[in-house]
């Protein structure tokens, strides 16, 4: 069976849905990290990944201090040890 052709409006709506899903994921991660005292100041949806005809949004975790990396690593290690 062949592909069904989408209208331009349907393609735009689908693309917008992908971007919204990425924005929601970023917001969810930001809240989750804040809940354990971690802030990634550059956390965002990568705009360049949304600029294609068919956006495939990527999340840019961004740059952060070594202190933040160590705090995040400690949290992940503690979670991993707890799960064993």
Q: What is the pLDDT of residues 4-16, one digit of tens each?
A: 788 888 888 888 8
More confident residue, 34 or 55: 34
Token pair for residue 77?
Answer: 């290690």
- Does 66 have pLDDT greater than 60? yes
56 and 49 Cβ atoms separated by less than 8 Å: yes
Q: Is 37 left (phi over 0), alpha (psi -120 to 50) or beta?
A: left
Token pair for residue 29?
Answer: 């991660």
pLDDT tens-place string over residues 7-50 = 888 888 888 899 999 999 999 999 999 998 899 999 999 999 98
pLDDT at 82: 81
pLDDT at 46: 93
63 and 43 Cβ atoms separated by less than 8 Å: no
Cα Rg of the chain, angstroms: 18
- Does 65 have pLDDT greater than 70? yes
Instruction: Give just the sign of the alpha carbon dihedral 29, 33, 34, 40.
Output: negative
């Amino acid at each position: 069976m062949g592909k069904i052709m989408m209208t331009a409006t349907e393609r735009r709506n689908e693309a917008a849905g992908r971007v919204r899903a990425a924005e929601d994921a970023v917001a969810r991660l930001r809240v989750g990290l804040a809940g354990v005292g971690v802030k990634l100041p550059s956390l965002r949806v990568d705009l360049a990944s949304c600029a294609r005809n068919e956006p495939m949004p990527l999340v840019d975790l961004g740059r952060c201090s070594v202190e933040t990396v160590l705090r995040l690593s400690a949290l992940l290690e503690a979670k991993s040890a707890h799960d064993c």
